[in-house]
Structure 1
Amino acid sequence: MVILRLGNTRKEKEEGMRLANYEIGTTLGSGSFGKVKLAKHIDSHKLFALKIIDKTKIIHLNIAHQIKREIATLKLLKHPNVVRLHEVLASKTNIYMVLEYVAGGELFDRIASKGRLKEAEGRKLFQQLIDGVSYCHNKGVFHRDLKLENVLVDAQGNIKITDFGLSALPQHIRADGLLHTTCGSPSYVAPEVLANRGYEGATSDTWSCGIILFVILTGYLPFEDRNMAVLYQKISKGDVRIPKWLSPGAQNLLRRILDPNPLTRITLAGVKEDEWFRHENVPSNPEDEEEGEKKNACTDDEAFSTRDVPREAEQKSPDSSTLINAFQLIAMSSCLDLSGFFEKEDVSERKMRFTSNHAAKDLIAKIEDIGTGMGFRVQKKNGKLKVIQENKAHRGLGGLSVAAEVFEINPSLHVVELSKSYGDSSVYGQLCNKLSDDLAVAPRQAHVKSEARDIGEKT
């Protein structure tokens, strides 16, 4: 999320602008690749959280896969304790995720300001957390970044799990049946994740839930140290001191969850059978939530539609937006096609990107062939190519040096990035045009809008 650097005048102008069927309100939060704003649906007056994602930031930070994963994951989940994705919008410069608005903010802020919760109150929140996480696991989704900051609290005091950018789906599990990506927040990550020998998503999520329960009931983290190496040693040993003033039931459950051995750690099914956990437990019913969704006029026909927004933020008429091919942004049965994130740039600039559906090895070979065919010398090093045309008398006058690199977005989509170090812009332009003409994904803008309504209705 992008850190805003706006004066008061611009902020006031931004508020009240319209995006499709939404009126944009105040900023709720901001970060490294976008911002979250309050938005009101014009017809229903219902409030939503509008997550605005800057495409250029996505490219720069190389996190397209993370955004793709979050959207693909959220479309699977419909549970009262998981933040709901209602719609995705797109403009030339931004992706807009229309999310359920949770008025109470982060559970982290609640603990930080009020301190630990009473056991009865903490148990209720933990029951909802386990209910939501268990539902995700049943859908094949493993969160992998559960922490207080990613648990929101609504106006009624119910929790909502959010931020699925690091989540894993069944296709991310390797042949050994384990996940292998080391991710998560230091104080919440499970010992087996740190061991870097593979781990089960459900078991590591259970550990993180135990850390959250510990903080809810005590007001502080069980493992803390400014030195990361020392912190990881503490986590790996799992030597946690559980306060004796907690009830015996709470102490026992925490010990069983914060077991450093994933093979003997209690499962979520075991947590649900625990006596302390079961006290006054009222499980949520995701089926009821789905029925409620069908009755919501503003999210029924528009759920997971993709709208092309003509202007970056403001839209004068809600009817002026056009439905585009949903497969442009959301592939309903698999993963997202993010080819629209990367648009051809002016070849007079030092850097140019284009997408290609050739395999990475084929791309490298074809770039080498094209460069050689145009009379360039091609060097290969560390997976990168350097295309050079030398002028020995005066380097840079008539000469050219261009670095070419290939990035994978998904197995069938790659981005080629060309960066000019020095040299003749006209020769650089010829090289860029030749590579993009031969290798880029065929332009689809001409027929997208004409096909959009039919395909959009089918999805």
Structure 2
Amino acid sequence: MGQNNPPPPSPTASIRRSTSSGGGSGSIILEKYQLGRLLGRGSFAKVYLGRSLDNSDDEVAVKVIDKASTVDAAMEPRILREVSAMRRLHHHPNILKLHEVMATKSKIYLVMELAQGGELFAKLHRCRRFSESTARKYFQQVVSALRFCHQNGVFHRDIKPQNLLLDQNGLLKITDFGLSALSEQKKDGLIYTACGTPAYTAPEVVYRKGYDGEKADAWSCGVLLYAFLVGSLPFDDSNLSNMYRAMHKRSFEFPDWVSKSAKLVIYKLLDPNPNTRLSLDDLIKLSWFKKSFSQENLCSQADQSPRSEFLNRKDSDYLPKVNAFDIISMSSGLDLSGLLEAEVNSKEMRFTSVLEVVVIEEKVVNVGEKLGYRVEKGKGGGIRLVKGRAVLVLQIWEVAIELWLVEVKLVDGSMEFGVLQWGELKSGLGDIVLSWHNEVS
């Protein structure tokens, strides 16, 4: 999470070990992290600087959620969405990482990457507006991250400068997935819940008639680019009905310093008709967007590239670690068991591949049929392999350019599916595997 103008840490700072498990500055949480100064407050949480008890140089941001005072029926799904979304999106360099989820009976702790550069909103406020090259640089990173979100079934729905952070190298990080929607929430391919910040939210979202999450995020990108270049919002009215009328009429103006090509991009994104609105997939093909753009540059920040780190960690499970048992053992209120049930009760194996998705799927189907499985399409996408009571679900996630993470999970029939069956499956899939990333337990 971000922080505004943080003072440099004291070189003599030491970590005080204690058995405290409170939620405030100085507390020790579950014998793993010590909380430092308060970095910010949200609507239902406080964010603190955290230091690892194992290595005081490892700094993180810890979001502390007090169950007793903040978690209610309305907030529970928001927390679930945030955790679920961030776990899916761990591998993109422009998305804030969720390292760990922990809990006690009274509090929930989200341990996240620390973005030392603070909010992009603060920088925009200081500069009043960005130059076109600076605006494009940040905009490219936002779009790259959002396309990754969409490819992995997450729709942010609250893109604005306040939810964009900067790390110590100036790399942009999207955060706050509490209002996001997941692909499994769709009905008939559409989302029906209305949420977001009105000035950044697509007009179709408020009608509750169903909308495309990708196109809704594309609209927010148009508002964001306008704010970057102009220093104000295209639609900003205390009277919401007037503001939505202006959206439908595209009633906004450009100052002279905005280039014609940038105006065209914004105009196409701020199309009130989602069917004709510019998609992010088409946006990246435009010459204005492609100028000075390199996906490799986005992924290379010295030796801190998440992509490089992922590729180098051949022998470990790189997905975010979730302390499921601590969370599920909470006394009452927030229940994350639905989110973590598969992780607790199932066995799984993961591997990376550089082959195309269609090739991976064809191989899985062929191997499954040879081993006597019935092959089905999963309800939320992916492939199901069924034999007797044993049910395996395969999902494929894009983690970098031409790099796929494949997860095979046993969701039913553990008594009938053991080491021998895993070995047969692993042997059959071997020629499409770049690297295995965990051992079946």
Q: TM-score, normalised by structure 2?
A: 0.65
Report the alpha carbon displacement of residue 62 of structure 1 after superposing the two structures with TM. 2.5
Structure-1 separation of matches of 2:191 and 2:344 = 18
Q: Deviations for 1:292-339, whole angstroms, at most 9, x for unmatched residues?
A: 157689x968942317779xxxxxxxxxxxxxxx98484164999xxx
Aligned with 1:139 (options 135, 143, 152): 152
Equivalent position to 1:22, from 17, 28, 33: 33
**2:175 aligned residue (158, 162, 177):** 162
In structure 2, the partner of 1:450 is: none
Deviation string 1:69-118 (CA, Å, 9 cap, x unpaired) is 11011100020000111001100100100011101111111111221011
- Which residue, 76, 80, 86 being the options, matches 1:68? 80
Residue 48 of structure 2 aligns with an amino acid whose one-letter code is K
Deviates more, 1:277-286 or 1:19-28: 277-286
> CA distance change for structure 1 residues 57 and 290 in 2, over 3 Å: closer, same or farther?
farther
Provide the C-alpha distance between the structure 2 equivalents of 1:195 and 1:120, rounded to a whole number of angstroms. 36
Going from structure 1 to structure 2, the CA distance change for 1:32 and 1:127 (only over 3 Å counts) comes to: closer
Distance 1:334 1:174, change over 3 A: farther
Letter in 2 for 1:252: L
Counterpart of 1:421 in structure 2 is: none
1:189 deviates by 0.6
Aligned pair 1:331/2:340, yes or no? yes
Query: Could you tell me whether the CA contact under 8 Å between 2:324 and 2:344 is conserved in 1?
Result: no
Choose which of 295, 298, 322 in structure 2 pairs with 1:305.
Answer: 322
Look up the match of 1:227. 239
| Residue type at the aligned position of 2:255 | P
Answer yes or no: is the 8 Å Cα contact 1:102–1:152 preserved in 2.
Answer: yes
**CA-based RMSD:** 3.2
Judge conservation of contact 2:25–2:48 (CA < 8 Å) in 1.
no
The 2-side partners of 1:122 and 1:138 are apart by 24
Residue aligned with 2:340, SS: coil
Aligned counterpart, 1:40: 51
Match 2:306 to one of 275, 289, 313: 289
Matched, 1:196 2:205: no
Q: Percent identity?
A: 37
Q: How does 1:167-246 map to 2 (within 5 A)?
A: 167-175=180-188, 177-246=189-258
Say if 2:49 and 2:60, in contact at 8 Å, map to a contact too.
yes
Distance in 2 between residues matched to 1:125 and 1:229, nearest whole Å: 31
Aligned partner of 2:276: which letter?
A: T
User: Separation in 2 of the partners of 1:135 and 1:118?
Assistant: 26
How far is 1:23 from its partner?
Answer: 1.7
Q: Please tell me whether the aligned partners of residues 90 and 96 of structure 1 are also in contact (alpha carbons under 8 angstroms).
A: yes
Closer/same/farther in 2, CA of residues 328 and 168 from structure 1, 3 Å limit: closer
CA distance in 1, matches of 2:150, 2:103: 30
Give me the whole-angstrom Cα distance separating, in 2, the residues matched to 1:272 and 1:255.
15
Letter in structure 2 aligned against 1:105: G
Q: 1:278 to 1:21 in 2, by over 3 A?
A: same
Q: Whole-Å Cα distance in 2 between the matches of residues 210 and 301 of structure 1?
A: 34
1:75 partner SS: helix
2:271 corresponds in structure 1 to: 259
Where has structure 1 moved over 3 Å in runs of 4 or more? 13-16, 57-61, 284-288, 293-297, 299-303, 307-310, 326-330, 332-336
1:99 aligns with 2:109: no
**1:250 aligned onto 2:259:** no
The alignment partner of 2:82 has SS state of: helix
Question: What are the residue-to-residue correspondences of 1:48-59 with 2, within 5 Å?
Answer: 48-59=60-71
1:115 aligns with 2:132: no
CA contact 1:192–1:199 (8 Å) conserved in 2: yes
User: SS of 1:28's equivalent?
Assistant: strand
C-alpha change, 1:308 and 1:231, in structure 2 (3 Å) is same
Task: Give the secondary structure class of the aligned counterpart of 1:270.
Answer: helix
Tell me if structure 1 keeps the 8 A contact 2:87–2:319: no
Letter of the structure 1 residue corresponding to residue 36 of structure 2: G
- Residue 274 of structure 1 and its aligned partner are, at CA, apart by 0.7
Q: Is the 8 A contact 2:47 2:61 kept in 1?
A: yes
In structure 1, what is the equivalent of residue 161 of structure 2? 148
Q: CA deviation at 1:24?
A: 1.1
SS of equivalent to 1:220: coil
Query: Would the aligned equivalents of 1:58 and 1:64 in 2 still touch at CA under 8 Å?
Result: no
Per-residue CA deviations over 1:1-56 (Å, capped at 9, x if unaligned) read: xxxxxxxxxxxx94333223212111011133220000012223211110001112
Distance 1:238 1:39, change over 3 A: same
Matched-pair contact (CA < 8 Å) for 1:89–1:308: no
SS at the partner of 1:86?
Answer: strand
Specify the code of the residue in structure 2 equivalent to 1:138.
Q
